[in-house]
Amino acid sequence: MKAFILEKYGKESSLRLGEVPEPELRDDEVLVKVHAAGVNLLDSKIKGGEFKLILPYKLPLVLGHDVAGVVVKVGPKVSQFKVGDEVYSRPDDFRIGAFAELIAIKQDSLAIKPPALTMVEAASIPLVGLTAWQALIEKANLKPGQKVFIQAGSGGVGTFAIQLAKHLGAFVATTTSAANIDMVKGLGADLVVDYKKDDFEKILRDYDVVLNSQDSETLTKSLNILKPGGKVISISGPPDPAFAKKIGAPWLMKQIVRMLSSGIRKKANHRKVDYSFLFMRANGSQLREITALIESGVIRPVVDRVFPFEATAEALAYVETGRAKGKVVIKMM
């Protein structure tokens, strides 16, 4: 089958269109014919080698963490799906590969595609939707009336997280450029800071939750806007000891503890706030709950640009510019 292949790590490395064997189907997996695939910064970070310690993939590798398509084959232990079902998913780590004609996905990581969405729209949802869900609902336990600061509101995670936070009844602040202010307000943002003109640290006070997706300097400043007992959930790092323990890497845990003690954790403790790292995971049941929100009109997809499959490398390069408003998607057919 055709796929875009990563042959070596590095910021300057690129994807190559080539032929790879069809994925081997495990007993609890379904084989999906890919109709559309979302493109994420996670793909770029893996390509650049940033996650080699956390995700030690063997090269060559097919990237792609968002998929929408049609089931063409099911494993003998699959009971939830059948051939012909239209589905979408964030595949499990070490089973990624949406930048290809076919992908094998665990049934527990899969959900029926929202009928109201096109394949392109559906492919834009899983990774950012699950990231926002696991950050705001699982980790933050966001409540009505609380104040949440969602960084980069016009990005893929930001556009989804703003909508989810408003559905949960929170007051939502975000950052974006002047050109995108109307867009993020349309998604539900209550307070928008133009990051090119203003410093959010001087404007925001006594927040309950921060969803951090930016650099270490922004993370440090975010700790200062939280009220005592507040929570910052970071999807851009650094990892925390709980994450190191979860992935069974005690050597990483020691390194993380040492790193955090001298920086983020010390400041978080001083401010009496909680810091945690989120590396989102595949979850079909949560994706089904997200489907219900989409079907009820609470969440709508935000797609910036659609590239043909043959331009997958160009789509990833566009995501790396940081200019995307919402999600970038590649379309197979």
Asked, for residue 58, whether it belongs to a domain, the answer is: yes
Spatial separation of the C-alpha atoms in residues 153 and 178, rounded to whole Å: 12
pLDDT for the residue 261 = 43
Spatial separation of the C-alpha atoms in residues 7 and 56, rounded to whole Å: 14
The low-confidence residues of the chain, meaning pLDDT below 50, are: 261-262
Same domain, 103 and 161: no
Same domain, 323 and 249: no
The Cβ-side half-sphere exposure at 164, using a 13 Å CA radius, reads: 30
Same domain, 81 and 186: no
pLDDT for the residue 51 = 85
The full length of the chain comes to 333
- Domain count within the chain: 2
pLDDT for the residue 262 = 47
- Sequence-distant (6+) residues with CB within 8 A of 87 are 30, 32, 68, 69, 70, 71, 81, 105, 110, 111, 112, 113
Spatial separation of the C-alpha atoms in residues 316 and 64, rounded to whole Å: 10
Domain that holds residue 307: 2-125+301-331
Q: How many CB atoms sit inside 10 A of residue 69's CB? A: 29
**Which pTM value belongs to this model?**
0.94
pLDDT tens string 317-327? 999 999 999 99
Asked, for residue 200, whether it belongs to a domain, the answer is: yes
Q: Write a three-state SS string for the chain.
A: CEEEEECCCCCCCCCEEEECCCCCCCCCEEEEEEEEEEECHHHHHHHCCCCCCCCCCCCCEECCCCEEEEEEEECCCCCCCCCCCEEEECCCCCCCCCCECEEEEEHHHEEECCCCCCHHHHHCCHHHHHHHHHHHHHHCCCCCCCEEEECCCCCHHHHHHHHHHHHCCCEEEEEECHHHHHHHHHHCCCEEEECCCCCHHHCCCCEEEEEECCCHHHHHHHHCCEEEEEEEEECCCCCCHHHHHHCCCHHHHHHHHHHHHCCHHHHHHHHCCEEEECCCCCCHHHHHHHHHHHHCCCCCCCEEEEEEHHHHHHHHHHHHCCCCCCEEEEECC
Final residue belonging to a domain, choices 245, 262, 277: 277
pLDDT for the residue 16 = 97
Same domain, 118 and 153: no
Same domain, 227 and 163: yes
CATH number of the structural domain spanning residue 233: 3.40.50.720
Asked, for residue 282, whether it belongs to a domain, the answer is: no
Same domain, 260 and 318: no
- Sequence-distant (6+) residues with CB within 8 A of 263 are 216, 220
Asked, for residue 251, whether it belongs to a domain, the answer is: yes
**CA nearest 97: which of 150, 25, 37?**
37
The first and second tokens of residue 153, run together, are: 């509101």
Final residue belonging to a domain, choices 277, 293, 317: 277
pLDDT for the residue 274 = 87
Same domain, 86 and 192: no
Asked, for residue 82, whether it belongs to a domain, the answer is: yes
Same domain, 66 and 46: yes
Same domain, 49 and 119: yes
Asked, for residue 287, whether it belongs to a domain, the answer is: no
Same domain, 135 and 235: yes
pLDDT for the residue 84 = 98
CATH number of the structural domain spanning residue 38: 3.90.180.10
pLDDT for the residue 44 = 95
Same domain, 119 and 159: no
Same domain, 121 and 133: no
Asked, for residue 292, whether it belongs to a domain, the answer is: no
Asked, for residue 102, whether it belongs to a domain, the answer is: yes
pLDDT tens string 154-193? 999 999 999 999 999 999 999 999 999 999 999 999 999 9
